[in-house]
Structure formats: structure tokens, C-alpha cells
Amino acid sequence: MTPKILIRTIWIIGLVFASMNTLASDDKTININQDWQYLQENHANVSQALNSKNWQSIQLPHTWNRTDTVDAQPGYRRDASWYKKRLELSNAKRQFLYFESANTQADVYVNGKLVGTNIGGYIGFTFEITDYVNRDKIANIMVRVSNAYNPDIIPSQKSDFFIFGGLTRDVWLIESDDVYLDNLIVTTPKVSQDIAEAVIELDFDSTKSYPQSTLVAEIFDQTDKVVSKTHANIAINQGAQSLTLALNKIANPALWSVDSPDLYRVKVTISDKDRVLASKQVTTGFRWFEHKEGKGFFLNGERVLLRGTHRHEEHAGLGAALSNIQHRKDLEQIKNIGANFVRLGHYPQDPEVYKAANELGLIVWDELPWCRGGKGGETWEANTESLLTRQIQQNRNHPSIAFWSIGNEMYWEEDFPGGGAEDVVTPYVQKLNDLIKDIDPSRFTTLRKYYPGADIVDIFSPSIWAGWYGGAYGQYEEALQSSREKYPALIHMEYGGSSHVGRHEETPIDELGIRDAQVSVSEAMNQAIVKSVAKDSNWNENYMVNLFDWHLSVSERFPGFIGNAQWAFKDFGTPLRPENPIPYINQKGLVDRAGNPKDSYYVFASYWQKTPMCYIESKTWTVRYGPKAGRNVKVYCNTEQAELYLNGETLGKKDRIHGQYPAHGLVWKVPFSEGNNQLYVKGFNDGSMVIEDSLELEYKVGTHDTPKKVALSSERVSENLYLVTASIIDSDGRLVTDYEDRGYFSSLDSNAKLIENQGTPNGSSSIELANGIARILVQKTSNAQAVVEFKTQNFKGQYVRID
């Protein structure tokens, strides 16, 4: 059978290649992250930058906003900087530079000449540098990168996250023959349990004509066995071309799913007689998605309840310059909790993120960074449409992606007069939806919280923040039901709230919420005029544990529900929240900004995680006050039964009832003894113990007195690293657990430095106390004694000496 093949000639102006959807290529591909120089000065041209004496040695990925986003100084650096690197090249006929991203505008120079400019962050771009390399095969690369304020580039300055500047992802050198394969897209027009069809769309560019060439396309399964092989004769013309080719079908394909994420490798080789001109390979998978109204989301014909969360691309001490190891660690942590769905908010993320989602079995919501700001003019439109087009072309091969999101809260906080008006935004939402469908009709289009666009996209999410920005968490089921009546293709993106690690209450706000608070569960744009838990509570961990427990008990049993995604998996930085307990940190994470689990993490694990787990609430609640009869203790387990012990004596074994609020019914009244107590739990499946957990805490009958003083202590964590703890105590030395003022750490000499500006519970020099305690890590820098100070507005300073 002769394969169907369609060849088109493309005229390209300039030498810019839009994207590179894989690095798996027989072209020589070299990572060039090492041995760069960085200049934190905004010079207008190459010569001025080269004349500077302030170049520093760095490695990529890199951002100049690693820590200044979360320091005590308002604002963060929004400006331009320079990078440079010297490359010695081989005798390959063509050379290219591939940048996985540059935030948010980049000018690339080679040997002093401008090669090209890329506008827009978060997406990769490729420049050919062949004609800029000198005879000695030397390429002196210089890149000017800017994240300066520019309303014509999304996302908006008013977005609730930082716009990190720099070369925040990997950079690669690609060396090829005359023919360069730029983009290899694999589409799957028909997939079933019995058969899979694949079609390739290939963009390539050649410096010579090869009129009698051969193309071979092979599909390899998980064992590297060839399961499909297609030959085609093609004519390669000088310049840019594109072809579409239907490949031979695959019988009984192994389908990609959340539990069995089977992947295939597609390799394309172009030859002239016995000479290989170019070769490229990508990873793909065979699966199909469906939404059935009133029945839910289906993957490969089987209903899948989307159990999800969100991810921002940042980490404590790194900003957005994460290694591939850290990217994958984040996705593994999400998968390990039992999630099967992740929204990449609010922008396309590192290629390693999609690779990990493919391999781990995580369904992805991929979002255009149209976040707030409204719609701009012609330049804004051109930049936005270019970014969307490149995003889809770059990411189309990933089987994990089910949703292309047009944006989030686009009409809020307009950057252009009238840019948030419905008659302005709605037609543009329609235009972007049509653009997506033209490029990739196989996936769902989505958006969040732009109600006039609900009927335009395939799947829609309203704003439901039951028990946080409005209403009470006891309203969640009613809110879902009323929303689905309005929006039959309902998915719920963003729920939860903030928690300050270590802050606890015996009687947190219940499912009825705050009296006289805003009744609506939707987030109001102007928070100054509403009363809500977000504004009028202390962000204790106990409340968030209960809120999530309630939400999950509802969503797990809500009939025909597509699913939801908690906001957000990890704490992240934001310029809009300077007065949070940890300044400039959105504290809605299930883990802190360094990835350490909070109590809420274990609630989700008890619902979703497949491996046995038990967690006694809470490891950060080790001093409790109460009556002589004791207090209730909740244990979150996913085992069939659990048995709790106090000081070696059993308090009884209980059956776990999935979804029973609270804690699946695993709640004990614990008769604590005055002083130190040891709690221990065993989890059982089929009558055998499979997991255990323990907690040591101090229990005091009655309550503490008023704050009297600060007690400071230091504990050695590792060589030259110490944990300094500040405790507010009463006149009897008892911890004052309701003390919540802001405290400040400082080093009083050069013998130690604070590990600060991390945006974490023990990496922030300005932080609200949690149950009367604040902590910070301190690094000794000499053998001499160091002095660290702690103070609050009312306690004028206490010192600890570290020998």
C-alpha cells in the first residue's frame, strides 16, 4: 500500500524556528548549561556589556530573582541582564541554539551580530547560527534577557505570581547536516483497544535539494520493538517544507492511562541513497478522552474522576531556575499523593514537567499565561497568538495533555482602558478557541472564571472558594450542584485556603463558617469590602485539614463529576501579598515552598494514595492545653482499620469508613496525662499491620498565662548549620500558644548569616509566630561565637550565642 503523503513548501522570513518539540534526535544535541558568564547590568548593546568588569561565573538554569522576590524590600528586579558563553564548534554543516525559555524577552547575538529576538516567556525557541560563526568555528554567544514591565506581553503585571527574569531553563546546541528537522508532530486520529492510527506532521529545512530522498517512519513500543514501519519517497527542495504522512496502523496498542502510562517512540529518518540526511524522534502515546454530560470524564472508555492539584514553577532558594531533577521531584510528589491530574498554572512549564507527566501518568491542563490584565491592542494580540500557537506546537505530542486552557481571570485588573469589558474580551476568547481548534481539535479547550466564555470552550470552571474567600465549606456540595446546572461541562479548578505551618487551634471555624461573612462562595475582586475566613481568621492548619476533608468527602461521591484541582500543591511567591504570615508567599500549598508536607497533605493521601499510610494530626502541634479529660485526636489513614495507643495502652481499634467526615471516622477521645505523652497508631489491611505512625507531645491541663518573655535556643542541625528557635513563654515558662505577632531575626555580627529570603517556615527573617514559636536556620561562617537576635513589636530583643 502506498502511504498518503502531502508535501508543502514554506517560505520563512529570517532564520527563526518556532520550537523544538524534542531533544531526542540523531542530530548532535549538546547541553550547554555550564560555564556561562552573567552581568546584572542593563546595557543597550553588546559593546557596552563587554566593557563591564562585573561579569560573574554561573551555570544555567539561572534567574536574577532567586531570592529578591521574597525579601523584606517591596518589589523585585524587573530589568534586563546579559549572559555570555564561548563555544568551540565542530565542522557540522549547520548549527542551532535552542533555548527552552527566556523570561520574557531575549535578544541573541553571536560574534557581536544580532541573530534574532524572541518575545514571550515560558516557551522554547530556536535560532540558526550557522552564518554567524567565524572561520575558526568559534561562537561567542551573548544574550540580553529582560523581564521589564511590558503590558504587551502576557501574563499581566497584576498576576498573583512573580515573573522571574533570566535563562530559567536549559540551553542546547544542535548540529545538523544540510537538512534540519525542526518539528515532528504525531497525531492519533483514531485510537481504540484494537487499533491505533498515527499521522506525522514534519517541518524541515534544507540548504540543498535532494529530489530522490527516502523517508522512513518507525514506531517503537516500550520494549523497543518496531511495531510500525512506513516508507515514502520524497523530494526535498532547498528551503523550508512541511509534509503530512499517515503511518501504518498498530494492532492492539498498549494504551496510555493514569495507572499504566505506556509510551511509544516515533522515529523519522530521511536519507539520500545510503546517506542519512536527518533523523528525529519523539515520544507519544495512544489514548482518547471524552466528556459525557452528567457522567464525567472518560479516558479510553473508562470513567476517571480527576483528582488534581496545581503547580507553579518555583522552589525555595531557586526561584524559577529549577533543575530537571527538581522538576521531576515535584511531579513525583504530586503523583505519590495519589493525584492523577495537574493544572500547570498559569503558564507552560519546563519540558521536563511534561516528560514526567507522560511517564508518571498525570493528566495535564496546559494554560496560556493570559492571567488578568484584560485584552490589549494589536501588538498584544500578535504576541499572545504567537505564544499560544508555539505552546500548542511545542507540546502537542504529550499524551498527558488533555486540556488547552485559554486563561484565568482574564478580565480582572485591566492593563488597557476598557480591556476587561465583556464586548472586548469575549470575541477574543472565541478567536483563541478557534485558533486552538484549528491547530489541535483533538483536545478540550478550557478556561477558568470568565463566565461569558463558558459556552465557547468545551470545559469550564467557575470560581468556587467555599469556606475561604466566601461562604462556608459546608456549602461545597450545593455550590457544585448549582454550578453544574449552569455549566453542564463543569470542572472545578482552585479550592482550599492558606495555612501557616505550626499554627493550630482546638476549635477551628466549622462547616458553617464565620457568622455574617460573605455568603457567596465566589471570590470577590475587591477583598476589602467582604468578610471571609481568608481575611478574618488566623490561617491555622486544623481549619484547612477540616476544609479539605469536607471537600474531598463531597467530590469523591458527587455523581458524574469531572473532577477538581486543589490550589496549589506547593507554596509560591506573589508580589500581591506582602503582609502574609510569611511575606510575599501564597501559603495555600499542601507542602511548603521547600516541598515539606503540611498537615493537609496527609488528608489528600488518606483519600487518594494507594500505598498504606497513617498520620496522627499533627507533627507541628506538640504542645496542647485542655481539660483533665483530654482532647480529641484525628488520625488520617487509608488502611481498612486503625488502632491508636496512648503511652503504650490501646484506645481501641476502629474501622475506616471512606469519606466519613472527619478523618474517615478515625477520631479518638484521648485522656492525656499531664506532661509528656506518646501517641502511636497501627494501620491494618486484611487483619495485618501494614503501616504505623507516632507522635510525642506535651499536654498541660488548663491554659497558659499572658506572654512574659522570649526564650531563644539553638540546635545544631549539621556542620556549621543551626536551627534557632524563639518561643514566647509566660511567667511559669509555659508556651503561649495563641501568640501570633510578627517576629524578626537578625545576625549581629559577621560570624553567621541567616538562611533567609527562602519563603519557608524556617527560612524567613520576618515571620508571624505559630503557636508562640518562630524558627530560622543559621549558617556559621567562622569559628568565632555568633550572636543572633529575635524581637517583636512588643518584645524588644533577645539574643542567643552560638559557639
Query: Is 218 a known active-site residue?
Result: no
Question: In this predicted structure, what is the pLDDT of residue 515?
Answer: 84
Grid coordinates of 516: 455574617
Q: Which of 91, 85, 175 is nearest to 136 (CA)?
A: 91
Q: Using one digit for the tens of pLDDT, what is the confidence trace for 604-638?
A: 999 999 999 999 999 999 999 999 999 999 999 99
List the beta bridge partners of residue 364: 342, 401
Euclidean distance between CA atoms 702 and 720, whole angstroms: 40
Q: Is 721:738 a contact under the CB 8 Å cutoff?
A: no
Q: Is 514:591 a contact under the CB 8 Å cutoff?
A: no
Identity of the amino acid at 184: L
Euclidean distance between CA atoms 143 and 140, whole angstroms: 10
Question: In this predicted structure, what is the pLDDT of residue 25?
Answer: 47
Pairs from 677-681 (Cβ < 8 Å, separation ≥ 24):
677/646, 677/647, 678/645, 678/646, 678/647, 678/648, 679/616, 679/633, 679/644, 679/645, 679/646, 680/644, 680/645, 680/648, 681/614, 681/616, 681/635, 681/637, 681/642, 681/643, 681/644, 681/645
Question: In this predicted structure, what is the pLDDT of residue 522?
Answer: 76
Tally of CA atoms within 13 A in the half-sphere of 231 that contains its CB: 5
List the beta bridge partners of residue 230: 217
Identity of the amino acid at 22: T
The SS3 assignment for 322 reads coil
Euclidean distance between CA atoms 641 and 691, whole angstroms: 11
Catalytic residue (choose from 409, 541, 617, 740): 409
Grid coordinates of 208: 540543498
Could you give phi then psi for residue 378, rounded to 5 degrees? -65, -40
> For the chain, which ranges sit under pLDDT 70?
1-27, 525-526
Q: Buried b / exposed e across 445-457, counting CB within 10 Å, b at 16+?
A: bbbbbbbebbebb
Distances (CA, A) of 682 to 68, 451, 591, 613, 715: 45, 48, 25, 10, 31
Q: Other CB atoms closer than 10 Å to residue 6's CB: what's the count?
A: 10
Question: In this predicted structure, what is the pLDDT of residue 15?
Answer: 36
Q: Other CB atoms closer than 10 Å to residue 787's CB: what's the count?
A: 14
Question: In this predicted structure, what is the pLDDT of residue 19?
Answer: 45
Strands 444-448 and 459-461: parallel
Q: Which of 760, 787, 785, 758 is nearest to 774 (CA)?
A: 760
Distances (CA, A) of 405 to 105, 493, 793: 23, 11, 46
Question: In this predicted structure, what is the pLDDT of residue 797?
Answer: 83
Grid coordinates of 298: 472518560
Sorted by sequence, the CB contacts under 8 Å of residue 478 that are 6+ apart come out as none
Q: Using one digit for the tens of pLDDT, what is the confidence trace for 662-689?
A: 999 999 999 999 999 999 999 999 999 9
Distances (CA, A) of 561 to 231, 300, 307, 488, 490: 45, 17, 11, 10, 8
Question: In this predicted structure, what is the pLDDT of residue 525?
Answer: 65
Sorted by sequence, the CB contacts under 8 Å of residue 244 that are 6+ apart come out as 4, 5, 6, 199, 200, 201, 202
Q: Which domains does the chain have, with CATH numbers?
A: 28-176 (2.60.120.260), 178-284 (2.60.40.10), 305-608 (3.20.20.80), 614-701 (2.60.40.10), 709-802 (2.60.40.10)
Grid coordinates of 749: 555580627
**Residue appearing with cell numbers 530589568:** 79
DSSP 8-class letter at 783: S
Tally of CA atoms within 13 A in the half-sphere of 281 that contains its CB: 16
Q: Which of 685, 283, 306, 238 is nearest to 459 (CA)?
A: 306
Q: Other CB atoms closer than 10 Å to residue 251's CB: what's the count?
A: 9
User: Can you give the C-alpha Rg of the chain in angstroms?
Assistant: 28
List the beta bridge partners of residue 125: 99
